[in-house]
Amino acid sequence: MAGFLEEKVVAITGAGGGIGRACAVACAAEGAKVVVADIGVGLAGEDPRSEVADAVVAEIAGAGGEAVAVAEDVSTMAGGSRVVDAAVEAWGRIDGVVAVAGILRERMLFNMSEDEWDAVIATHLKGHFTVFRHAAAVMRKQESGSLVGFTSGAFAGSVAQANYSAAKGGIVSLVRSAAVGLHRYGVRANAIAPIARTRMSANVPMELGEMGEPEDVAPMVVYLLSDAAAEVTGQVYTVVGGRIAVWNQPAEVREMRTEGQWSPEEIASRFGEVGVERMALIDRLEEYRKAAAAGDKPNT
Ligand SMILES: NC(=O)c1ccc[n+]([C@@H]2O[C@H](COP(=O)([O-])OP(=O)(O)OC[C@H]3O[C@@H](n4cnc5c(N)ncnc54)[C@H](O)[C@@H]3O)[C@@H](O)[C@H]2O)c1
Residue nearest to atom 38 of ligand 1 (CA): 14
Task: Please tell me the distance between residue 83's alpha carbon and the centre of ligand 1 in angstroms.
Answer: 16
Please give the pLDDT value at position 231. 98
Distance CA 100, CA 239 (A): 14
Candidates 214, 213, 204; CA nearest to 299 is: 204
99: DSSP letter? E
Task: Please tell me the distance between residue 125's alpha carbon and the centre of ligand 1 in angstroms.
Answer: 12
Prediction pTM value = 0.96
Q: What does the angle CA 249 – CA 253 – CA 258 come to, to the nearest 5 degrees? A: 140
Q: 298 Cβ partners below 8 Å, 6+ apart?
A: 206, 207, 284, 287, 288, 291, 292
Please give the pLDDT value at position 203. 78
Contact 24/5 with Cβ under 8 angstroms?
no
Distance CA 293, CA 23 (A): 38
Task: Please tell me the distance between residue 124's alpha carbon and the centre of ligand 1 in angstroms.
Answer: 9
| Cα atoms in the Cβ-side hemisphere of radius 13 Å centred on 208 | 19
Cα Dmax for the chain: 71
Average pLDDT for runs of 10 along the chain of length 300: 91 98 98 97 89 97 98 98 98 98 95 98 98 98 98 94 97 98 98 96 76 97 98 98 97 98 98 95 86 76
Please give the pLDDT value at position 205. 66
Task: Please tell me the distance between residue 112's alpha carbon and the centre of ligand 1 in angstroms.
Answer: 21
Q: 286 Cβ partners below 8 Å, 6+ apart?
A: none
Contact 126/78 with Cβ under 8 angstroms?
no
Please give the pLDDT value at position 158. 92
Q: How far apart are the first and last CA of the chain?
A: 41
Pocket residue to mutate for ligand 1, from 25, 41, 215, most atoms within 8 A of Cβ? 41
Please give the pLDDT value at position 74. 98
Q: For residue 246, list its beta bridge partners.
A: 237
Task: Please tell me the distance between residue 104's alpha carbon and the centre of ligand 1 in angstroms.
Answer: 9
Ligand 1 site residues (CB inside 6 A) read 13-14, 16-20, 38-41, 43, 45, 52, 73-75, 100-103, 123, 127, 150, 152, 194-196, 198-201
Q: Which atom of ligand 1 is nearest to the CA of 99?
A: 41
Pocket residue to mutate for ligand 1, from 36, 38, 203, most atoms within 8 A of Cβ? 38
Q: Which atom of ligand 1 is nearest to the CA of 198?
A: 15
Q: Which atom of ligand 1 is nearest to the CA of 150?
A: 41
Distance CA 121, CA 123 (A): 6
Contact 189/179 with Cβ under 8 angstroms?
yes
Q: Which atom of ligand 1 is nearest to the CA of 124?
A: 41
Contact 12/149 with Cβ under 8 angstroms?
no
Region of 31 on the Ramachandran plot (φ > 0 left; ψ -120 to 50 alpha; else beta): left
Candidates 173, 175, 171; CA nearest to 183 is: 175
- Helices within the chain (DSSP H only): 18-29, 51-62, 77-91, 114-120, 127-142, 162-181, 199-202, 214-225, 264-270, 285-293
Please give the pLDDT value at position 1. 60
> What Å distances lie between residue 58 and 23, 24, 174, CA to CA?
15, 12, 33
- What are the residue numbers of the active site? 164
